[in-house]
Each structure stands twice: as structure tokens, then as C-alpha cells.
Homo-oligomer: A and B are copies of this chain.
Amino acid sequence: MSERTIPYKLYLEENEIPKQWYNVRADMKIKPAPLLNPGTLQPLKAEELAPIFCDELIKQELDDDTAYVDIPEEIREYYKTFRPSPVMRAYNLEKALGTPAKIYYKFEGNNTSGSHKLNSALAQAYYAKKQGLKGVTTETGAGQWGTALSMASAYFGLDCKVFMVKVSYEQKPFRREVMRTYGASVTPSPSMETEVGRKILEAHPGTTGSLGCAISEAVEVATKNDGYRYVLGSVLNQVLLHQSIIGLEAKAALDKYNITPDIIIGCAGGGSNLGGLIAPFMGEKLRGEKDYRIIAVEPASCPSFTRGKFAYDFCDTGMICPLAKMYTLGSGFIPSPNHAGGLRFHGMSTILSQLYHDGYMEATSVEQTAVFEAAEKFARTEGILPAPESSHAIRAAMDEALKCKETGEEKTILFGLTGTGYFDMVAYEKFHNGEMNDYIPTDEDLAVGFAGIPRFEGNEF
């Protein structure tokens, strides 16, 4: 064992943290479709987005051409406290599976937000502060994004108001206290604090909430209060830009040891982790320099890639946000309350949607008991207790590694371990007690969501 040339952790040093983010859109021949104004159905201009988003972030959102964007020194300073994050070789998991495959994972969970979300939260809080704003509003599902934004807001001295999907708020009471430790206020959504919240509660009194609904509330509060803007932890182009640091670091670490992955796997909710992880690899693929198999993994109970429509749709339930062209289950789609694995968003990043549509990546869906089985196996072999979200990628990576066991192929697999599951023990408890089941929406269930996708010329699906 001692003559191994590849260590457990592939090291990068502080001065090797990327100094620029990479914008994959610059290398896409077919760019993601622009956001549309839901009233005029025309592409949104920067000035229309200005009441919602920070100015610099709007620039990043709309910029399809600049390949590399400098990471401001102030953001890099904080990055240095928890980055570079390690690329780990899963020697113990490989051994337990008896696979000839070589499994690597980029582990983003070693910061208090428990996930990769902090990468973009810091960027968004920084630009808000730089613009002289008082505060930011946002939504959070599992709570990782809300925690990340709370941390970033505390660091840059911003007020932070979080709308938390009610089911998560109830299942994860301790997340609220973490956010409060960082000075944020947390409201379960839907709430009576907003017009859109009151409307939704009236129509669906017992609702457990959804990300789409929490987004609507956060946007309303941002636009109705001076000095506030809305920030979003996933889906948007700007978020994928910031998250490219995951892939850039992963690639730098692998390159250092002359490792080239055959398969790259990431879980996909709104797409922030997957988009970040694959960015530089996808860039090479788009430029025709190299080929990789790239796989998005989503829950069978919220299958936007594998069963959704590629169409313009609202990002929020209240239908006040711009229209985005993406794989979507309809903004009214709410996963079954049995669903415990995160990745609950009804849509998907427009960048990833376009790339998937154009055949640059695959998608697969997995059922949640199989996901928790993989999570437990991973915890017992690799030590790390994974987030349910991340465990979707673990499941797919294990399945690929087991295929290698059958064929004898020594493939190199890289997957994104987005975070830790310390705040997901209610879900783990369900799993331990045998109370977890695999609810998969029927075609009829999905039809209800699809019916809410707006119909207009050019939006056939």
C-alpha cells in the first residue's frame, strides 16, 4: 500500500486556487436561450433585471461571450479559508465494491454551509456589498444555500432574509439556528409576509411549500424594499460561472497527477454543482479537444431532465420571474412529501438544458431508497456522511463502477460530492426505520405540472 503514487487527497496549494472563473457559454456554439420578459415575451434587458438582481451579476448573467472572469481579491480571501477543496481517491469504496474502476470525488462539504453553495454565495454577497446595498433576500430548500448566503452576508456585512421551503423548515429545525448564528432571519414559505405567499396559502392551505414558491416570496420582498436585491443559489448562468471553480480545481488537481476521467457524474437539482463541476471538461468537449462521458443524476421523484419538457417556463410558482428555456416539470410541480433527497426544483439551468438537448451530456434518474443505500455504503467505507443530494451522484458512480466490475474495464470516474448530510438525519432516520418509499410521479401527475407551462408562439413542446 505504501508504494501508491496517487494519494487519498490530491493536493492543491493556496496559490493554485483558480484566479478566474470559466464561463462555458463562451465555448457553446448554440448558446442557451435568453431569459424572456413574461409580459412582452421579449429577451430581457439588463435594465429590466436591475430591480431584482445586482448590476454586476446581471452583467455576468447576460454575458455569453467572455470565457474567463477575474475572481475579485476579496472573494479569493474567503475562498482561501476553505479552498482548495480536496479531490479524494475513493480507495476504500473501490475495495468494498471490488471494482477495477478508479473512483475520484471532488468534496465540497468541508465548510459550514456543508456544500458547494458557498462558492456562489460569496460572489453574490460581495457584488451586493460593492453596489452599496443593505441586504439580500433568497429562498432555500435543504438549507445549504441559505446557510451559505448567511455566512457570506455575515462576512461582508449585509442583512440577509431567507425564505425556507416549509417542509425543510420543519424537517431541519437546526438549519434555522445555523443561519441565525450568522445573523440571518429565516421565514417558512409559503408565509403570510408576502402577497404571493398569502395567495398560495389561500389556494393550497396545507401545502408543504416548494422552491418555486419560496423564490416568488423572496423576489417580492427584494423588489418592494429599498436597498435589497434577490440572489439565487442555482439555475442561473452567474451561479454556474461562480461554481466553475469546482471543476477548475478538480481539473487542476487531476492534471497534476496526469489523471483523465472517462466519466464525470454530478447530481442535478437546479444545476449549480453539475454545471460547476463539468465546466472546464465540457469546455474541452465543446472545443473538440477531448471527450468525456458526462452524466447528470436526478431523483426519480423530480425528473426534470429525464421526463420534463424543453420549453420556456417560469422559475417560480408565483410566475413573477423571467421565463427561462429549460427542461421543466412545470412551475406548479411539487414533489411528493415522501421525497427526502433534495434536488426539488422543477426546472434546470438553461446552460445545462441546452447542452443536454444538444447531446453533450446524458441524464439518469435514481430512486431514493437506492440513493440512501449508496449513502450508507459510502459513509461506512469513505467515512464522510453524504448529503442526500450528493448521494444521487454516489449511486450513479457506484453503478458505473459495478458495471466495470462486470466488464473488467478500469475506467476512471470523477463525481461531485457536493456536501455533507449532518442536517438530513430525519431522512436518514426514515431510511433506518424502513419508512422510506420510492414515489415516482405517474404521467398523469406530470401532466398537471406541464399544464402550467405557458403557451405562446415559439414555445411548442
Binding site for B on A (CB under 8 A): 1-2, 7-9, 11, 13-15, 73, 77-78, 80-82, 88, 91-92, 110-112, 114, 151, 154-155, 173-174, 177-178, 180-183, 375-376, 379-385, 420, 422-423, 425-426, 428-429, 432
Contact = CB atoms under 8 A, between A and B. Distances in A.
A426 B181 CA distance: 12
Contact of A8 (B80, B91, B112, B183): B80
Contacts of A381: 155
Contacts of A375: 181
Contacts of A92: 78, 81, 155
Nearest to A88: B81
Query: Which 5 residue pairs spanning A and B have beta carbons closest together?
Result: A174-B425, A7-B14, A177-B425, A154-B380, A8-B80
Contacts of A173: 425
Pick the most buried of A11, A14, A177, A381: most chain B CB atoms within 10 A of its CB: A177
Nearest to A112: B385
A432 B180 CA distance: 8
Contacts of A425: 173-174, 177-178
A428 B181 CA distance: 8
Given A174-B422, A178-B385, 7 more contacts: A1-B77, A7-B15, A11-B11, A77-B91, A177-B425, A181-B380, A181-B385
Which label, helix, strand, loop or mixed, suits the secondary structure of the A interface? helix
Nearest to A427: B177
B112 A181 contact: no
A251 to B, nearest CB: 20
B385 A9 contact: no
A458 B385 CA distance: 49
A378 to B, nearest CB: 10
Contacts of A151: 383
Contacts of A183: 380
Contact of A112 (B9, B15, B82, B379): B379
A110 B110 contact: yes
30 contacts: A1-B77, A2-B73, A7-B14, A8-B14, A8-B80, A11-B14, A77-B91, A78-B383, A81-B92, A81-B383, A111-B384, A112-B383, A114-B422, A154-B380, A155-B380, A155-B381, A155-B383, A173-B425, A174-B422, A174-B423, A174-B426, A177-B425, A177-B428, A177-B432, A178-B425, A180-B428, A181-B375, A181-B376, A181-B380, A182-B379
B1 A9 contact: no
A423 B151 CA distance: 18
